[in-house]
Structure 1
Amino acid sequence: MGQNTVREARTRGGVRAADGRGWDDSLHEGDAAGPPRRRGGPHPRGRRGKRRVLRWVASVLSLLILGTAGAGYLYYRHLNGNLKKEELNLGDKPMVDHKVNAAGQTPLNILLIGSDARNSDANKRLGGAKKTFDGPPLADVQMLLHVSADRSNISVISMPRDTLLKMPKCTDPETGEVHPATTNLRMTNASLQRGGPGCTVATWYQLTGITIDHFMMIDFSGVVSMADAIGGVPVCVTDNVRSRNSKGEGSGLELKKGETYIKGEQALQWLRTRYGFEDGTDLARTHAQHMYMNSMVRELKKNTKLSDPNKLRKLAEAATRALTVDDRLDTVKKLYDLGEELKKVPTARITMTTMPSVPSADNNRVLPKPGEAELLFKMVGEDTPLDGKASKKQKPKVSKDPAAPDAEIGVMVQNGTYTDALGAATGRAREVTGVLTGKGFTQARADTQRNPQERTTVYFPSVDLEGDAQAVAKSLGLPLSSAKRSTDVSGVTLVVGADWRSGSTYPKSAAKDDKDKDEALKSARALNGAKADACMEVQPGFTWSD
């Protein structure tokens, strides 16, 4: 099961290039697979290896918590000893505190990391690529699991391992080595080599601004042991499929049309398959992995796998041996508590997505897709469900508490227009105060405090001031949803965001557009956890007859 820690793997041998080989769709060293193709584009050739860690590991990680939760204190000390721990954040910027919702609840964000460490016999057998044995690992799977503040839904965003980003400054806690911030773009999976998983956390925080509460990391052998402990999972294909082409490339997966329960090596083949699914690209493989994840969630929730003492014992053992966790999540009791939070979310409210991306200049790497990737991150950062359900059910309503006359409403106006790229728009608090005064809000006052945020928002501390806040929002042409309750303010407080840097009229383009959200989610290929009829299309040329 790979007992060596990831830290040991990182400190042995030279540093591998981020584009080295990782998980691919073949179990054999000699089966060559070219670099991943983007949907609709050519299949570029080059020296890019076949590394692809199983993206389904995010679901495994979240589910193994449920298994551990069910185990309670079974072998408590023993299981605690199985867990490996590392620091949460190795960046030089502390993460900001969560903003609570109107009910005083906070969201929960967990970064799930799949390491390609080849630091044990099991990992070497599963991962191949002898040149990388005992070298420092890469973070080839990165998924942000967001649990909503009210625990009603879960959203998952995965980031392609070949995404190009700027890396933050990170300090290795063991060696003291300082890895300076990069000015050039590097593959995101290289973050793990810059001190450990805490640097991967720092990289995500720099990109998204989303506060991350915990990380959990798993390696090849951990994935396999978890898959075996969980048991069979049903998958579906639209036709007979055999993943092997004329050059011998492929995972070797062979299934009949329709639904089949898979586990063990066959499950591993499914999760590695690229040739034979849809158009033969990595996007197809990712989609198949998401189907497997959701199917596994449904299986564990609907049947008795977690009530069988023997299976439960195996699952708890495999879970704790497989994991490296942050120093705030370092006991089975804490995993239990986290599991209790996750168990509150129904399967139908789980949404899996992949960060929208575009090819880089060389077409072998990707960049976050402008607009759509940012919108997806913003939705998660603002605790907006990716399935769209809660946003409809919780559509803002006009307050039952009537607003006071405009001239009697006290409003504090703050400048929140600062961005890293543009800085702050000077004088915005004073300018917008003048706009409010002209509209009859004569008690509006400009505050010298700056409160950077993306969207213009009217905060109020208690329900008796909700009507007043909505009146301020309406007068400025802000959407009703921009009036939000917050315990951080003592009165109605207008924060002029980066979406309104100039002018006396709130720009219509700044309003949230459901069409843009739909496009972003379509690009992210959102998949709902309750979609039990999902079936992988089989690629022409990879079918066979009975």
Structure 2
Amino acid sequence: MSLTPRTADAAEGSGRHGGRRGTGGGQTDRRRRRRRALRWSATVLAVVILGTAAAGYLYYEHLNGNIRKGERSSGDARAQKTAPNAAGQTPLNILLIGSDSRNSAENLKLGGSRDSVGAPPLADVQMLIHLSADRKSAAMVSIPRDTRVDIPKCTDPKTGKVYPATNDIINTTLARGGAGCTLTTWENLTGVYIDHWMMVDFSGVVSMADAIGGVDVCVRQNVWDHPTPSVPGGSGLKMTAGTHKVQGVQALQWLRTRHAWGSDLMRARAQHMYLNSMIRTLKKQNVFTDTGRLMHLAEAATKSLQVSEEIGTVKKLYDLGMQLKSVPSNRITSATMPNLEDPQDPKNHVVADAANADKLWEMLRDDVPLDKNGKASDTKQPSDKPTGTAKKPSTDPARLGVLVQNATQSSTEAAVPGRAGAISQALAQLGYTRAAADTSVTQSADKTVVQYPSADLAGDAQSVAKALGIPTSSVQQSTGVSGVTVVIGADWRTGASYPKQSKPRAGDLPTNADSVNGADTNDCMDVYKPYQW
């Protein structure tokens, strides 16, 4: 059959249209295949993401499992938190403890005698890390390990054993109830509330030093800390004069060296130098772009540290580290508690230099920067006036029982006879007719405080303090008293009114605090002559 042109055109059109329909079907198939591929890709990606997230979560939990934890405090502490600043911020205080434990193969290999295996560890390094409320300045303050102090009653949280209060060397506190007893001893000595503790042993120091990749330290002369005919022992540290990067075992040797620096006091300076350098090193490093390095650091840190239980997670430790890292190096100050020779053992032990040490503790309590490098707005002095924490007394002064204790004895001076009686009489003249001297308790305190046992007596304690001229910052709640109690410290040896104290200013440290600024890269250790080579 012949086709007319119209029919032919129609057929051609039909063929052309059919061809277009065929092409459209292929595109549709390709679109369908593409959608299927996208669905599969999305599914695979979701599996990968979920798998990675699961692996990340499992690794996070693994790191959390590495962290060993313990009770924050194991004794009766009298310190209270510093009041918040105008922005509602409070300082953060962390006690860093270095244990000399040899109760592992790793620690024994790194130093010490096998005779010490199984013995309770000593807290040979004790350093308070203070972060200001605004997180713009920081301090690292050491107490020498051979400082004789009053140690409170402590209870071992693991065994329940109770250790009575005593007067002994501060490094023994770790064996009398763990790190919580060391923390409590610090609080009672300084009046500074300590939020957390962290503890590291020999092998932990080595692991952390390796993970960081080394820290720069400096000596002015060749040093070799080795046994001598007159002095046994030694860390084994040996290096030439100048700056060296130490890590691993050599970092531990640096931190343990004592004889080559001449004393425990100079060992504290060497430890401060190391930590300042470590902070500067970490500030320069960007480990967060190096997954392998970050994991190595995380493993080392979580395995090396034992911490108080309230900061026992990776996130909380990370947050603490970031807060410290944010402080500029020139706003970090290292210092050692001002001290004097111990009258009971001047060759081996020291005691707090009461007046100068309390000035340092007051700066920490009042959150006064230890450096002078802040802006005027950063160094505003705290006010002596109550800021809204004042409470109303629960009763009239004449009906309130007040106990007065004489704690004017210090490490260098005997107690002033009759001080409790004199102050109780002064209180009676001020309307507190039931005030009485407590002659049953003998104690010593560097600073005068007013203590109360429960919140309902807070206003009464504040009123007693105000009557005597004692600052409200020295009013403390304590479970160690049964009523309002005035503890007259060594800072108030004469007079019926508490002597007005000049407030310390930023950077106004005692001259014998041996302070070092964190930005000082020229600091070097002098080597004691017998250990030069």
- Same fold flag (TM > 0.5): yes
8 Å contact from structure 2 (residues 90, 133) kept in 1: yes
Alpha-carbon separation, structure 1, partners of 2:496 and 2:168: 41
* Distance apart, 1:418 and its partner CA: 7.3
Moved more, 268-277 or 167-176: 268-277
8 Å contact from structure 2 (residues 196, 311) kept in 1: yes
Alpha-carbon separation, structure 2, partners of 1:128 and 1:500: 45
Alpha-carbon separation, structure 2, partners of 1:372 and 1:233: 32
The DSSP-based 3-state class of the residue aligned with 1:141 is: strand
Q: Does 1:385 align with 2:369?
A: yes
Q: Does 1:284 align with 2:290?
A: no
Q: Does 1:196 align with 2:178?
A: yes
Alpha-carbon separation, structure 2, partners of 1:327 and 1:123: 24
Letter of the structure 2 residue corresponding to residue 362 of structure 1 = D
Counterparts of 1:411-422 in structure 2, within 5 Å, are: 421=407
8 Å contact from structure 2 (residues 216, 246) kept in 1: yes
8 Å contact from structure 1 (residues 231, 263) kept in 2: yes
Alpha-carbon separation, structure 2, partners of 1:310 and 1:125: 28
* Distance apart, 1:393 and its partner CA: 4.9
8 Å contact from structure 1 (residues 170, 180) kept in 2: yes
Which residue in 1 is equivalent to 2:157? 173
Q: CA deviation digits over 1:464-506, x for unaligned, max 9?
A: xxxxxxxxxxxxxxxxxx9xxxxxxxxxxxxxx9989998999
8 Å contact from structure 2 (residues 139, 370) kept in 1: yes
Aligned CA distance change for structure 1 residues 132 and 456 (closer, same or farther; 3 Å): same
8 Å contact from structure 1 (residues 229, 315) kept in 2: yes
* Distance apart, 1:306 and its partner CA: 5.4
The DSSP-based 3-state class of the residue aligned with 1:110 is: strand
Alpha-carbon separation, structure 1, partners of 2:499 and 2:318: 47
Q: CA deviation digits over 1:346-368, x for unaligned, max 9?
A: 11111111111111122211111
Q: CA deviation digits over 1:264-292, x for unaligned, max 9?
A: 23323333334544xx3333333222212
Which residue in 2 is equivalent to 1:142? 126
Alpha-carbon separation, structure 2, partners of 1:305 and 1:297: 14
Q: 5+ residue gaps in structure 1?
A: 1-71, 400-410, 433-446, 460-481, 483-496
Moved more, 307-316 or 104-113: 307-316
Counterparts of 1:100-249 in structure 2, within 5 Å, are: 100-182=84-166, 185-244=167-226, 247=229
Q: CA deviation digits over 1:59-78, x for unaligned, max 9?
A: xxxxxxxxxxxxx9782100
Which residue in 1 is equivalent to 2:481? none
Q: CA deviation digits over 1:265-323, x for unaligned, max 9?
A: 3323333334544xx33333332222121111111112345543222211111111111
* Distance apart, 1:134 and its partner CA: 1.7
Which residue in 1 is equivalent to 2:356? 372
Aligned CA distance change for structure 1 residues 240 and 78 (closer, same or farther; 3 Å): same
Alpha-carbon separation, structure 2, partners of 1:90 and 1:201: 8
Q: CA deviation digits over 1:391-428, x for unaligned, max 9?
A: 8555669x9xxxxxxxxxxx99x999977636666666
* Distance apart, 1:343 and its partner CA: 2.8
Alpha-carbon separation, structure 2, partners of 1:523 and 1:532: 21
* Distance apart, 1:384 and its partner CA: 1.0
Which residue in 1 is equivalent to 2:520? 531
8 Å contact from structure 2 (residues 99, 122) kept in 1: yes
The DSSP-based 3-state class of the residue aligned with 1:537 is: coil
Aligned CA distance change for structure 1 residues 263 and 158 (closer, same or farther; 3 Å): same
State TM-score, norm by structure 1.
0.65
* Distance apart, 1:328 and its partner CA: 0.9
Aligned CA distance change for structure 1 residues 327 and 353 (closer, same or farther; 3 Å): same
8 Å contact from structure 1 (residues 384, 391) kept in 2: no
* Distance apart, 1:512 and its partner CA: 3.3
Which residue in 2 is equivalent to 1:512? 503
Aligned CA distance change for structure 1 residues 274 and 216 (closer, same or farther; 3 Å): closer
Moved more, 349-358 or 98-107: 98-107
Alpha-carbon separation, structure 2, partners of 1:127 and 1:541: 22
8 Å contact from structure 1 (residues 162, 366) kept in 2: yes
Letter of the structure 1 residue corresponding to residue 366 of structure 2 = E
8 Å contact from structure 1 (residues 73, 332) kept in 2: no
The DSSP-based 3-state class of the residue aligned with 1:300 is: helix
* Distance apart, 1:221 and its partner CA: 0.9
- Aligned match of 2:282 in 284, 297, 300? 300
Letter of the structure 1 residue corresponding to residue 461 of structure 2 = R
Q: 5+ residue gaps in structure 2?
A: 1-55, 384-391, 408-418, 432-457, 474-487
- Aligned match of 1:355 in 328, 337, 346? 337
Aligned CA distance change for structure 1 residues 331 and 426 (closer, same or farther; 3 Å): farther
Letter of the structure 2 residue corresponding to residue 532 of structure 1 = T
- Structure possessing the higher radius of gyration over alpha carbons: 2
8 Å contact from structure 2 (residues 337, 357) kept in 1: yes
Higher relative contact order (CA 8 A, sep 6+): 1
Alpha-carbon separation, structure 2, partners of 1:178 and 1:327: 21
The DSSP-based 3-state class of the residue aligned with 2:354 is: coil
* Distance apart, 1:121 and its partner CA: 0.2
Alpha-carbon separation, structure 2, partners of 1:385 and 1:417: 35
Alpha-carbon separation, structure 2, partners of 1:249 and 1:506: 49
Q: CA deviation digits over 1:96-126, x for unaligned, max 9?
A: 3431122221111111111111111011111
Alpha-carbon separation, structure 1, partners of 2:256 and 2:471: 49
Alpha-carbon separation, structure 2, partners of 1:419 and 1:344: 44
Letter of the structure 1 residue corresponding to residue 170 of structure 2 = T
Letter of the structure 2 residue corresponding to residue 333 of structure 1 = K
Counterparts of 1:337-356 in structure 2, within 5 Å, are: 337-356=319-338
Letter of the structure 2 residue corresponding to residue 199 of structure 1 = C
* Distance apart, 1:253 and its partner CA: 3.2
Letter of the structure 2 residue corresponding to residue 326 of structure 1 = S
- Aligned match of 1:319 in 276, 289, 301? 301
Which residue in 2 is equivalent to 1:404? none
Aligned sequence identity (%): 49
RMSD between superposed Cα atoms in Å: 3.9
Which residue in 1 is equivalent to 2:22? none
8 Å contact from structure 1 (residues 417, 500) kept in 2: no
The DSSP-based 3-state class of the residue aligned with 1:328 is: helix
8 Å contact from structure 2 (residues 469, 497) kept in 1: no
* Distance apart, 1:174 and its partner CA: 2.7
Moved more, 251-260 or 311-320: 251-260
8 Å contact from structure 2 (residues 469, 498) kept in 1: no
Alpha-carbon separation, structure 2, partners of 1:525 and 1:336: 30
The aligned length equals: 407
Aligned CA distance change for structure 1 residues 149 and 307 (closer, same or farther; 3 Å): same
